Structure 1
């Protein structure tokens, strides 16, 4: 779980104008009004679970530092998008209530209070728990005053050669207006006095983001016993070099978070890329929504910042130094294997393993024999999805490749495979979602590179984001054309595939291929209007399809037949789906929900949800797959895909779920849920009032099973057994 795992491709939407009315079923008893948990507070509860991992002394200390950095990065994005959206609703006077029927102003007040509490707890976790644990492991974070004179002299030389030349002190006086403070930048506020005139002045020094946040005191020290000083501390103790002849009166660290959401009016522009580029430029100058300051800042400096940045007292967060603990990502990468999780090398899926060592597998032959269910990062992305597309690009019998790209890495072999295919004369279609939040600029770059190589690049449908994870290969074989398809729950990103838990299906099923052919044609041409055979596609049919499955479970329960619903998602907010699950619970259907992040459903409430259990699992990998399983009177209907149960996914995105048909795959999914919901598995349990309780040890204090470690072991053993059979 890393920085990318913040709101990842589940970036929290700022679209608050959700007017979807919960589905009303004729004859069904009316559900209570206060049946949803607030989505913003639920998201903060998710980030609290991340913080609890950082506080856990049983975890390797550099992983704990990483979780502190993840918490900080997550919260930054939460403010930039969700809090910014709440403020916008208040400023513009939008009367639309939140998902719990409360005014945005009331929710913002609760969010601010909870955020203050969590940020203070976060700082305390660093100061009192993780920093001492790092020191015990030989990684010491020191201050300037703790250094010996010769060490200060060495750092003074380092400062002069590596840091001083890139610093840009900006004065504030009648000739110099208050400077623009970029979002998420770390800054030093400096008050100086002119020794000749006695006049006091203010200046701002930006801490360069391209330099290491933690500076080695002595590069000659061993990695097992190394000391670091923060970059801002080093700069603060050389302010005299920046302001020669001036008396330094005060200096403090501060940081501003801005509204960095992007809104594109697609109907009003002919060129989406140009409109988006213009909006990205505007994003940099969004209004401030949070001011973080060190707890030693004087009132004069604070008053100046509050006035110039136009923030309220509620938006000021006073914390002990250092600010921006996202900088701990740097320390978390220190090469100390014993302070990290044990190394895990993904295995190759047994069905895709080469027949002999040092030979490449024939992906097409393997998939033609049987559907292949992939589980990353336990199983390798490189030897499955990436190999599938690279082989397709090189295969002379492949005529066409069609692919969606939502987020990919900067040096993506997936993109390179598409370019190779186009340059080889194949028909290649890439549907690039350039509106993927915070990856817009990167996606624009990739789109232009693909176009130059001859790839047909399209940007999806007006008003909708294309979030589905699809790849289709058309291959000439004896007897005609054959479709090879991949439908996944995660992005085509080799980097995040090593830390995001995701599922994917590789299949040569003709029906799936025809479904994808129609879907790609509609995405590159006309609006989605048709139904599909093995797919459920949003925005028109996915919610309806899932509600139909829920209704079937209700009917089976009422008739005394086997029933059950199991759902795994990142977030569940959609009222119609939640109400369907409440009604299923009231009918006696066992409902199990495995959610990573936001959950607006209230489980375990008598007369509403006593048959619903909700669990959350966080750990080494970011739980990212979406699964929907319905018992269906003994004929299970199991879907995997890209959609969370949120308004944006069901109403404003193109999403796709595919139904699994192989009994072994269905059993595999069932086994995942069995373990996740087992009381012997470490997890968080949600109560009806919105409280998440961590259960990581048994009554005797022994640690409970770690689901991800167990999955890792099981899949590795399965691969080994398969290799021996060959």
Structure 2
């Protein structure tokens, strides 16, 4: 009899694939297609934090009886999931390429650090020095120093740098992109009727000669990467600690979660990729996924509204069930007939009122 994979994990990826289908649908307004890409990316991050992390924990368990809840060997399940994720990533990349072409038709362009006009270069230099520089902490990487702490939801710039004047050993460095302080998108000066946007990582890439000026480097190869970690929440069973203390300890321990995915720009320096994999204690069995230049696409859920022909759809709100309009007591209504409420379409207020009435009822 053929072996089966866990249906919930495969079905979850299929669900997220339908989100990706919405992004690929050209009948959907362009800003919403970009937002769907952000939703897909955010969902996939959570998938690796929770479900893939659970599989990795099962693989690490020595007791084989602990894996009886699986239809199949967790390692085989993980391999199948990785194959499906890579296929979806390729579809994601193709969809994003098509969306960028559609953005160009509306005169909206995302500029890289190499594509800036002289005016834009001046703007980016001033913006970095005025607003970004204080939030940037460059860290030199080598075999002697321990790997700096890598945050789960952050985006990083991996840098390979050297000197062009003579043969010099390549040095590696790391910069966390301060998106929480500065945001991800910066609108640039642009010709009339055009909108030019640069990502924060490209602002930093343009200013690398300034950042590392003390070292004399003049050759830089910088590419983004991110790491997704195990987000399992463990509660201590110590009876001598309070629940608040247990939760506090569990939250702190989440920082120590093992990496479940390493995703990086496929053009990153191969030696730097190898170095990061070694320092993160990853192996070929882990989810190591090369991709395009842009990562942490969840930020694109908040892409600037720069599209002329797009009007933000009116936000939908819940509506009252007709059986509960102009009523005095929910209890009187439900004693007469059954009522089906569908959330989030119907208001939740009748449930609260029913609980309140039940608490005050003398019977």
> Considering the TM-score relative to the shorter chain, is it more than 0.5?
yes
Q: Which residue of 2 aligns with 1:116?
A: 86
Q: Which residue of 2 aligns with 1:162?
A: 131
CA distance in 2, matches of 1:333, 1:278: 41
Q: Which residue of 1 aligns with 2:219?
A: 248
Q: Which residue of 2 aligns with 1:132?
A: 101
Q: Which string of whole-angstrom CA distances, capped at 9 and with x for unpartnered residues, describes residues 165-207 of structure 1?
A: 1101111247743211111311111123378994532210000
CA distance in 1, matches of 2:305, 2:39: 13
Q: In the alignment, does 2:348 pair up with 1:473?
A: no
Contact 2:235–2:246 (Cα < 8 Å) also in 1? yes
CA distance in 1, matches of 2:43, 2:294: 17
Q: In the alignment, does 2:297 pair up with 1:325?
A: yes
CA distance in 2, matches of 1:91, 1:36: 19
Inter-CA distance 84–321: structure 2 relative to 1 (3 Å threshold): same
Inter-CA distance 257–37: structure 2 relative to 1 (3 Å threshold): closer
CA distance in 2, matches of 1:276, 1:239: 41
User: How much has 1:349 moved relative to structure 2?
Assistant: 3.6
3-state SS of paired residue (1:140): strand
Q: What is the 5 A alignment of 1:629-668?
A: none
Inter-CA distance 36–199: structure 2 relative to 1 (3 Å threshold): closer
263, 266, 269: which one aligns with 1:292 = 263
CA distance in 2, matches of 1:159, 1:53: 36
Inter-CA distance 246–80: structure 2 relative to 1 (3 Å threshold): same
Q: What is the 5 A alignment of 1:1-80?
A: 38-80=7-49
CA distance in 2, matches of 1:59, 1:240: 42
Q: Which residue of 2 aligns with 1:482?
A: 361
Q: In the alignment, does 2:187 pair up with 1:216?
A: yes
Contact 2:266–2:291 (Cα < 8 Å) also in 1? yes
User: How much has 1:318 moved relative to structure 2?
Assistant: 0.4
Q: What is the 5 A alignment of 1:149-188?
A: 149-173=118-142, 176-188=145-157
Q: In the alignment, does 2:52 pair up with 1:83?
A: yes
Contact 2:6–2:72 (Cα < 8 Å) also in 1? no
How many corresponding residue pairs?
Answer: 353
- Larger helix percent: 2
Q: Which string of whole-angstrom CA distances, capped at 9 and with x for unpartnered residues, describes residues 252-309 of structure 1?
A: 2111111111121446454112111111111012111211110101211111101101
CA distance in 1, matches of 2:142, 2:270: 19
Q: Which residue of 1 aligns with 2:316?
A: 344
CA distance in 1, matches of 2:5, 2:279: 39
- Larger strand percent: 1
Task: Give the alignment's TM-score, normalised by structure 1.
Answer: 0.45
User: How much has 1:157 moved relative to structure 2?
Assistant: 1.0
Flag the structure with larger Rg.
Answer: 1
Q: Which residue of 1 aligns with 2:75?
A: 105
CA distance in 2, matches of 1:35, 1:176: 45
CA distance in 1, matches of 2:75, 2:240: 33
Contact 1:51–1:122 (Cα < 8 Å) also in 2? yes
RCO higher in 1 or 2 (8 Å CA, sep ≥ 6)? 2
RMSD: 3.1
5+ unaligned residues in a row in structure 1: which ranges? Answer: 1-31, 355-362, 393-470, 484-509, 511-726
CA distance in 1, matches of 2:68, 2:28: 37
Inter-CA distance 378–133: structure 2 relative to 1 (3 Å threshold): farther
3-state SS of paired residue (1:227): strand
5+ unaligned residues in a row in structure 2: which ranges? Answer: none
User: How much has 1:149 moved relative to structure 2?
Assistant: 0.8
Moved over 6 A (4+): 32-36, 194-197, 332-337
Task: Give the alignment's TM-score, normalised by structure 2.
Answer: 0.85
